Amino acid sequence: MMLILCSGWVVVLASWFVVVLDDNQRAELEQLAASWTAPVGRVARARALLAASCGASNAAIARSLHRHVDTVRAWRKRFAAEGMAALAERPRPLGRPRFTVEDRLEVIAAATAAPPGTDTTWSHRLLAGHLAELGISASQIGRILSGTDLKPHLVRGWLTRPADPEFFDKAAEVCAL
C-alpha cells in the first residue's frame, strides 16, 4: 500500500500500479469483459483492469475472479508497462528439454558399449556422468533407455564389437524406418 499526501489529505492507494483508462480503452475492456466468445484469460484480465480502474484492491479483485492476488498484481504491473498489449497471452514454458535424435543415439551407443570398469555395470547415473557434455540427466537417460527397451544394468557380459565409425549413420537410418 502507498500513502499519498493530496491537498492536506492522506490518500491510501490500493496498489503501486494505478490503472487509468481513457474512453477508448474502457470501451474496449467493457466489450471484452462482457464477451462470451473471447478467451477466458483475456476476459479475466479485462475484468481485473476494469475493477482496478475503479479503485478496487488487488485482494478484492483476486477474490471476485477466483485468482491469486499475485496474479492480479502481475496483471496491473504489466498493464502499467505495456498498456492494452498486456491483455495478450504469454508463451508458456515447454517443460523438460527435448533432445535430438543424435543425442539419443549417443545415449544408446554408450549404454551398449562396455562399461568403464571390469566389475561395473552401466547405471543411469554412471551414463549421465559419462555423457556429461550432452547435459542429459540420469532420469532422462532412464526415459530414453526405457523407450528403447534397453536395460544395461541387467547385462552380465559384453560382446566385443569393433568400434564402427559409421555407427551413428546406420543407427539413424534404422531409427528413420
Closest CA to 171 of 84, 112, 95: 112
pLDDT over 80 (residue 11): no
Alpha helices in 34-151 (DSSP H): 40-53, 58-65, 69-82, 101-112, 124-130, 138-148
Q: Angle at the Cα of 148 (from 143 to 153), degrees rounded to 5?
A: 70
pLDDT, tens only, 109-127 = 888 887 777 667 788 898 8
pLDDT, tens only, 67-125 = 999 999 999 989 888 888 888 888 887 776 678 888 888 888 888 887 777 667 788 89
Predicted TM-score (pTM) above 0.75? no
β-pair partners for 5? 10
pLDDT at 12: 52
pLDDT over 70 (residue 155): no
The size of the chain, in residues, is 177
pLDDT at 72: 92
C-alpha distances (whole Å) from 37 to each of 32, 34, 64, 141 are: 9, 9, 21, 44
In this structure, are residues 19 and 76 in contact, taking their beta carbons and an 8 Å threshold?
yes
pLDDT at 7: 45
Q: Angle at the Cα of 138 (from 132 to 103), degrees rounded to 5?
A: 55
